Amino acid sequence: MSTQRRAAVLGSPIAHSLSPVLHRAAYGELGLVDWTYDLFDVDEAALPGFIAGLGPEWAGLSLTMPLKRAVIPLLDEISETAASVEAVNTVICTDDGRRVGDNTDIPGMVAALRERGIEQVESAAILGAGATASSALAALARICTGEVVAYVRSEARAAEMRQWGERLDVEVRTADWADAERALSAPLVIATTPAGTTDALSKAVPERPATLFDVLYDPWPTALAARWSGYGGAVVSGLDLLVHQAVLQVEQMTGRSPAPLDVMRKAGEHALDGR
């Protein structure tokens, strides 16, 4: 009987994903020679067929955009963490054939901050209002004792962030993106916007910045992160987030703990250096 186990990352587009590099590095370090981790370009239309076709050799899936919400109706169960933001980035295939969804982005954010000594903050600022911003709010629900200010470009986005705040029991105040420079004086700034969006803010970094969590990792550093670290501020990168959420995925999929964080990070850094 074959002992092969399979896992993969799904999304569209997906060719850029670092997940195979991270998971394969973990398998190598853990001695899981019969495990494979692949990537598949799967959009929302193709997702039901892919899930239905998973055989008993499958251990789990990593999901990226645009599948994190689309997968929910296809699963037998989702965790409270995934339900809190209506987003699943991890599917575990159980021995009895069930498909269970989880979200490791949220605890991954918390773990990445904890690694830098950030256990709790009195207030925070979020730049942006997309899907990653809601995960950031969920992470802040665990570590922020006071107000979170979200800087957004439209009233519709502002209303969404306030609704997420109510749902996650986080005190959220919204502000216009035109005033985003004010965010940079917060004890913790989480930048969740696409590449280039925060470049103009780099000139406004205070002389003694606190902590910046910039969810981007390629290209790195961003202009904001470079200026921030240049002034001596603490910077948590998108690679930190990617590695910490992947650690949790590896542990859930393989049942082996702890996953080799340092080995996975070094593999990710090496892959990015080669791009």
Active site residues: 68
Q: Please answer whether residues 236 and 113 qualify as being in contact, where contact means their C-beta atoms are separated by less than 8 angstroms.
A: yes
Q: CB under 8 Å to 52, separation ≥6 — which residues?
A: none
Instruction: At 80, list the tokens.
Output: 């409270």
Q: CB under 8 Å to 151, separation ≥6 — which residues?
A: 125, 126, 127, 128, 174, 175, 176, 177, 179, 180, 182, 183
Which class for 46: exposed (0-12), middle (13-18), buried (19 or more C-beta within 10 A)? Answer: middle
Q: Please answer whether residues 50 and 99 qualify as being in contact, where contact means their C-beta atoms are separated by less than 8 angstroms.
A: no
Pairwise CA distance, residues 153 & 109, whole Å:
24
Pairwise CA distance, residues 221 & 235, whole Å:
10
Handedness of CA 234, 236, 240, 245 (dihedral sign): positive
Q: CB under 8 Å to 150, separation ≥6 — which residues?
A: 125, 126, 128, 129, 133, 137, 158, 161, 172, 173, 174, 175
